[in-house]
Structure formats: C-alpha cells, structure tokens
Amino acid sequence: MPIFQVRGAFKVDHKDRRFTKIVESNSEKNAIEKVYSLLGSEHRLKRGKIRIEEVVILD
C-alpha cells in the first residue's frame, strides 16, 4: 500500500498551525480523508478549518 505525505495548515484561535502527516492509504483521496479524520479527532477541528496544501507519494 502506498505511503503519502500530506502537508497543510489549520486554524486555531485565529492563527494558522502547519502540519505534516504521513499516512498509508490506497489512493490520494483516501489519504486526505484519513488526515481530515485524524486532525478532527486529535484537535476537535471541523473540515472547514483544515487546509490541505500538498499531497506527495513517498517510496
């Protein structure tokens, strides 16, 4: 299964916080969904507060 590196930012208290997550997924779309799920559960964020900037497949 491919490994993806997802980079982006999310808003907390009117400030942007940058993140990089490495996830294992079948496709780029599923990797993004997994990151939304992880950040939502870890930081109690809604999807509208999360901005995905880059998705890279790692070998």
The answer to whether residue 25 sits within a structural domain is yes
Distance from C-alpha of 43 to C-alpha of 17, rounded to nearest angstrom: 11
What CATH number did the domain enclosing 15 receive?
A: 3.10.20.10
Structure tokens at 34: 């997994």
- Per-residue confidence (pLDDT) for residue 15, from 0 to 100: 92
* Total number of domains constituting the chain: 1
Give the predicted TM-score (pTM) of the model: 0.90
The answer to whether residue 58 sits within a structural domain is no
Residue-range definition of the domain harbouring residue 8: 3-51
**Nearest Cα residue to 2 out of 40, 28, 38, 20:** 28
> How confident is the prediction along the chain (59 residues), in pLDDT tens digits per residue?
999 999 999 998 899 999 999 999 999 999 999 999 999 999 999 999 999 999 999 97
- Per-residue confidence (pLDDT) for residue 59, from 0 to 100: 76
